[in-house]
Structure 1
Amino acid sequence: MAYVRLKYSRDALRDYAQLLTRSEITKLVNEEDYSTLNYFIRTYDSSAFSSGKSYGDYYYYIYDVLRTHYGNEYVVKNEFINYGLLQLGLCSDCPAIHIFSEFRIGDVIADLALFNGHSVGIEIKTELDSPTRLCYQLDRYLKVFNSVYIMVPENCLSTYRSFAMEYQVGLISYNLQTRSFAMEMEAYQRPAPNPRQVMEVLHTSEYKEIVHSYYGIDTIEGRTDFNQFALYGEMLSKLPPNDLNSLFVSVLKKRGIPVTFFKKKRKELNQALLALHSDDVFREKLYRQLLQPISLQ
């Protein structure tokens, strides 16, 4: 295995990060297309990866490079999935947690969302980010999740502590070199989401399921395609907060990825598989593709 060097160009790090994007992983699995991989190997690593190694070896290597020198959002999410969940215990019964990467809330996207008994939203800020939109993001998160956290590098804690205090959200620090996550401030627990915001988060089938199951009905009398959003929203808004929260978490768990999906094998790819909402068939095909020996012909 090639050693991680002390220094890499910014262009090389950005190119390595590209190999972990959804588009590149999908191209590799569905088209068996190694062209981008081969181009980067020729450009940056031909002496170390010219022969005798697999494309999986190269993925191990680029991930270690990124973890050591780049620390982008992909790496933070991946390390959290592999190590932070168990270290922090944000939800009870960790193996039963269902997780989302990039959970849409209207016009903002939560970097991570966890559902199990209650809901947790996480906004990640890396050393490459700024707090410019953080107030706006937290305002939206607080209308949906029972608890909200900001996750930041250890050396950025002073920048974000005031935001955590003002909005009563939790603050988590991380260190990618030691693969450690620490709870710096606990989040205030909110009892239930905002019904109007819930309607914007849920798919049509999901808010229908909540209303039908609570009221014991198959449909709403007088419902049409034009008025159903308003009618279901009105009925959902009348649910007791505890029931709304419980039903909201229950339907979102069905859409999320169970933590048990993530394996110790090829741990550097867990976040890519989460972002793609992939199944076991896709994952096993990806693993087989990565066993192929590197061929630069």
Structure 2
Amino acid sequence: MSNVSTISLSNLNALSKLISNAGLQRLMDNDTSKVYGRQLKKLLNKNGVTVQGRASFSEMLSLGYQQLLAHYRHEYIYKTAILNSYVLREHSLAETILLNEFKIGTSKADVIVVNGTNKVFEIKTELDTPERLQNQVNDYFKAFTEVYLVVHHSMLAKYLGRVDRHVGIMVFSENGNIDTIYTATPDHSRLDSTIMLKSLRKDEYLNLVRNLNGSIPIAKPVHMFTECCRIAKSFPVQTVHIEFLKIIKQRICKESNEITLDEAIPSYLKFCCYNADLDQNHYIALTKRLNCFI
């Protein structure tokens, strides 16, 4: 395999769509994996990596990931780094839940992590702009007490001063790790019970209210959420927040954790595997697929 200078932003963007949560789901699907493999090989060639003859999925994915890491660091690259170089190094998955694209108010957090603490990570890649940042941060503090902005190390100066004093800052470093520049200061003053309940699934906010109140309210389905919010607001907001975090931690999946930690799963696939809620059958199929040639 050799490098050629055919890299373009449009081709890199197309490659990034294959090496993403959605793209890698196609790899695991028997009906789409061969087409996915051919597209991956074609885009590698278009992005400066000539794949001669047959190559394994594992080899092509590694090449694609490295090409994006060097030339087009989209969100999946950052999220993979947060999992590999921050969560897996500093926390136990048995006591930690990481959630992708978690809705909070009118915003969607790139990553949240809940264990003994609770953190929101807002990623601003080199491909992003800071326009919505302040509104996003304001939303995040309504459901979580620690908020971190994650930027590429070359963009640090651009974002310093754009967030308030409570927000921590992390950088995607030259070696591909996530390093903390400023530690977040917990802020409980902006928590909002209604926003917390809106972030949960129906069964989850019903369980939260049951935990607070001892029972689920009797109400017509159309009025149930409003009644749950009324009950939640009758309790101190920090009490609601404690129960909110407990409910989120119930999403921890032992089987997914074991698969994510397995050494057979390449580092660039761990974030996808963790979020896909794979079982052992999926795991066996995936490890076999990675060794297939196309």
TM-score bin (small chain): 0.7 to 0.9
Residue of structure 2 in register with 1:187 after alignment: 184
Distance 1:283 1:272, change over 3 A: same
Contact 2:148 2:170 in 1 (8 A): yes
Distance 1:120 1:128, change over 3 A: same
Contact 2:73 2:125 in 1 (8 A): yes
Worse-superposed segment, 119-128 or 50-59: 50-59
Contact 1:117 1:246 in 2 (8 A): no
Distance 1:43 1:194, change over 3 A: closer
Residue of structure 2 in register with 1:246 after alignment: 242
Deviations 1:131-188 (A, max 9, x none): 0111111110111111000001111111211123x2521111121x412322111212
Residue of structure 2 in register with 1:79 after alignment: 81
Aligned pairs for 1:163-178 within 5 A: 163-164=162-163, 166=164, 168-175=166-173, 177-178=174-175
Give the match's secondary structure for 2:170: strand
Distance 1:257 1:104, change over 3 A: farther
Deviations 1:25-46 (A, max 9, x none): 2333221432243144246439
Give the match's secondary structure for 1:178: coil
Residue of structure 1 in register with 2:283 after alignment: 283
Aligned pairs for 1:7-22 within 5 A: 8-22=7-21
Rounded Cα–Cα distance in structure 2 between residues aligned with 1:51 and 1:286 = 22
Rounded Cα–Cα distance in structure 2 between residues aligned with 1:207 and 1:43 = 44
Rounded Cα–Cα distance in structure 1 between residues aligned with 2:219 and 2:42 = 61
Q: Match for 2:25: what amino acid?
A: T
Rounded Cα–Cα distance in structure 2 between residues aligned with 1:233 and 1:32 = 44
Residue of structure 2 in register with 1:124 after alignment: 123
Q: Match for 2:205: what amino acid?
A: Y
State the TM-score, normalizing by the size of structure 1: 0.86
Rounded Cα–Cα distance in structure 2 between residues aligned with 1:260 and 1:40 = 28
Aligned pairs for 1:208-287 within 5 A: 208-217=206-215, 219-220=216-217, 222-255=218-251, 260-261=257-258, 262-263=260-261, 264=263, 265-287=265-287
Structure 1 residue 69 displacement after superposition: 1.4
Structure 1 residue 236 displacement after superposition: 1.1
Distance 1:180 1:40, change over 3 A: closer
Tell which has more relative contact order, 1 or 2 (C-alpha 8 A, sep 6+): 1
State the TM-score, normalizing by the size of structure 2: 0.87
Structure 1 residue 212 displacement after superposition: 1.1
Give the match's secondary structure for 2:144: coil
Give the match's secondary structure for 1:163: coil
Residue of structure 2 in register with 1:61 after alignment: 63
Q: Match for 2:166: what amino acid?
A: Q
Rounded Cα–Cα distance in structure 1 between residues aligned with 2:68 and 2:40 = 14
Give the match's secondary structure for 1:100: strand
Residue of structure 2 in register with 1:206 after alignment: 204
Give the match's secondary structure for 1:205: helix
Q: For structure 1, which runs of at least 5 residues remain unmatched after alignment?
A: none
Aligned pairs for 1:104-183 within 5 A: 104-164=103-163, 166=164, 168-175=166-173, 177-183=174-180
Rounded Cα–Cα distance in structure 2 between residues aligned with 1:66 and 1:178 = 14
Rounded Cα–Cα distance in structure 1 between residues aligned with 2:102 and 2:234 = 25
Q: Match for 1:244: what amino acid?
A: V
Give the match's secondary structure for 1:255: coil
Structure 1 residue 62 displacement after superposition: 0.5
Rounded Cα–Cα distance in structure 2 between residues aligned with 1:213 and 1:20 = 41
Worse-superposed segment, 166-175 or 151-160: 166-175
Q: For structure 2, which runs of at least 5 residues remain unmatched after alignment?
A: none
Deviations 1:101-135 (A, max 9, x none): 11111331100001112321110011111101111
Deviations 1:197-251 (A, max 9, x none): 112111111111112123222x32x422122111111111222344322211111
Q: Match for 2:76: what amino acid?
A: Y
Distance 1:174 1:228, change over 3 A: same
Residue of structure 2 in register with 1:45 after alignment: 45
Deviations 1:69-121 (A, max 9, x none): 1111111111121112356x4xx656521001111113311000011123211
Distance 1:79 1:229, change over 3 A: same
Rounded Cα–Cα distance in structure 1 between residues aligned with 2:26 and 2:177 = 32
Q: Match for 1:98: what amino acid?
A: I
